[in-house]
Chains A and B, each alone.
Chain A
């Protein structure tokens, strides 16, 4: 089932994706001289196989929400559950792709992609899956290269392959394209849609690029300033592959900017 999810099919497979339920999550950080609230009563559901984008101003707490969903930190109050089970710790069924590719410089591309399988002790039996993941992101020839030989876009594709090789139920994307140049970013957005449609995982994307959120997601959640609460929800009712010049996308973009209080320049 694992291999099938990676290699075949073009339509999203609802069974492969996780259902994520975020209920009443608030979160505080301890800072010098007190506490800082970053999340305020966030309620959000990600349906299996759904692509949800979190859109919000810089520093509003989007990334914190992702860290909580990934299980890297516990929420101060509220619950987060995956398929009904509460999330208490990191799990390879939820893979995070960070803004920086954070490839290990001492490992070759192949070994970087193999990281998750090695960590779970299944690399020996599943070596073919590493090659398959590299093929998916088009980096087969670079398997032996070291990260410092890669461009930013290639490094981020390796990070994607490193996530996909684990056949995640949920892909958590923390501004994964934020540091790429705009041309690479456009290309990678299409690749991301392709990978998502093939593998059928649920995806939770944090971005502050309105166009990116609308181009990729089924649903865009607009967050308020810190402490973040859900300000608006925009359903993007357009089929994939989407076209950037679509008039409907432009209208939704206007709406999203209005929620962010940035529509003065429209």
Chain B
């Protein structure tokens, strides 16, 4: 159980630096009526007034907007980048919004409360966009068609949102089918080999020999045997999920402290009760580590399978865009992919936090 926590701690630690804790609510801890009697120094720390980071971010976005609008695009030999003006106006709108929030401070309510921790990120984001814009559209240091400016992503979404959306939906469907089936099979396998000596004897060697084979190595075989490329891809995504879930569930069930069983047995528990109410809940922290690893593996197999044989999905879209040298489309697909994978991992962690709320000191994703 501790190992599960440690692994997730280690995994989470890399990402923990991103959301800085909000400094706002801390000094407000004493009741409001005492605020008058607080020393001036402490009162100054109460962030009731302007939001400096917000104003700085506003200035950065203003700079980005002016850079986009006033600096003419470098001619690239074909028609000009579309949506340059719209991109500039959008950044100016962001700048205006941030300016208003910066001036209002905490009086802006919920929105300011939500954005406040991200103040430094908002500044950095504008800077990154500015460098990107300058290097591609304005200076041409990064040449087209291999590199595309930010506004071209708007172009892609505008032109090709149907195909991109459909590809995302196909990927999600394939991932959902494969992941759920693989996780379920892995969980059941893990519980049975962790619990039953006979199941362990027969399944364990199989798991040891076949489990570590990368699922994508079986791609040609799966496409050959399965009735359709979709079924083959579901199988491979499932297989990629199956292995880590099975191994970690197994180790979770096997490492349940013997005294937990003794307690339940003396209280009159049946075998079924021992599995369902003792072994499985005690193994759950490990199971979630397995699910996390399985989800990561399934992303990689999903995209590979879609690139190799499935005629739909984000992997296919990437291949297709590259075939047409539509690099902007490729970047857009990559963005969607990043958002999708990160969103799913976040979702998994939310579920874990809910299910394992009894654990203390778990990492917040």
Contacts and interface: CB of A to CB of B under 8 A. Distances in A.
A146 interface: yes
Contact of A115 (B267, B270, B284, B356): B267
B358 A146 contact: yes
A119 B358 contact: no
B269 to A, nearest CB: 4
Contacts of A70: 266
A116 B360 CA distance: 26
B260 interface: yes
B259 interface: yes
Contacts of A266: none
Interface in B223-270: 257, 259-260, 262-270
A95 interface: yes
B268 A116 contact: yes
Interface in B266-303: 266-270, 273, 277-278, 281-282, 284
B263 A115 contact: yes
Given A92-B266, A119-B267, A100 B260 contact: no
Given A119-B269, A146-B358, A148-B360, A100 B259 contact: yes
Interface string A92-123: 10111010101011111000000110111000
Interface size class of A (residues with CB under 8 A): 20 to 34
B59 to A, nearest CB: 47
A153 interface: no
A104 B260 contact: yes
Contact of B259 (A98, A118, A172): A98
B18 to A, nearest CB: 28
A106 B266 CA distance: 19
Given A72-B262, A102-B263, A146-B358, A92 B268 contact: yes
B interface secondary structure, majority:
helix
Nearest to A108: B358
A66 to B, nearest CB: 11
A90 B268 CA distance: 7
Contact of B267 (A98, A107, A166, A172): A166
Contact of B270 (A91, A104, A108, A119): A119
Interface string A6-38: 000000000000000000000000000000000
A55 B359 CA distance: 38
Nearest to A95: B266
Contact of A95 (B267, B277, B282): B267
Contacts of A120: 267-268
Interface string B1-19: 0000000000000000000
- Which residue among B260, B263, B266, B282 has the maximum number of chain A CB atoms within 10 Å of its CB? B266
A92 B266 CA distance: 6
A90 B360 contact: no
Contact of A90 (B266, B284, B356): B266
Contacts of A104: 260, 278, 281-282
A92 B284 contact: no
A95 B265 CA distance: 10
B282 A90 contact: no
Contacts of B268: 90-92, 116, 119-120, 166
B358 A72 contact: no
A106 B360 contact: no
A106 B285 CA distance: 10
Interface string B143-182: 0000000000000000000000000000000000000000
Contacts of B360: 148
Contacts of A108: 358
B282 A106 contact: yes
A167 to B, nearest CB: 12
Nearest to A98: B259
Contacts of B277: 118-119
B281 A72 contact: no
Contacts of A95: 266-267
A106 B284 contact: yes
B105 to A, nearest CB: 37
- Which residue among B262, B267, B282, B360 has the maximum number of chain A CB atoms within 10 Å of its CB? B267
Q: Can you list the 7 inter-chain pairs with the closest CB atoms, starting with the nearest?
A: A92-B268, A116-B267, A119-B269, A90-B265, A90-B266, A106-B281, A96-B266
9 contacts: A71-B266, A72-B266, A102-B263, A106-B282, A106-B284, A116-B268, A119-B267, A148-B360, A166-B267
Given A72-B262, A90-B265, A119-B269, 10 more contacts: A90-B268, A98-B262, A100-B259, A105-B358, A106-B358, A107-B358, A115-B264, A115-B267, A119-B277, A162-B263
Interface of A: 70-72, 90-92, 94-96, 98, 100, 102, 104-108, 115-116, 118-120, 146, 148, 162, 166, 172
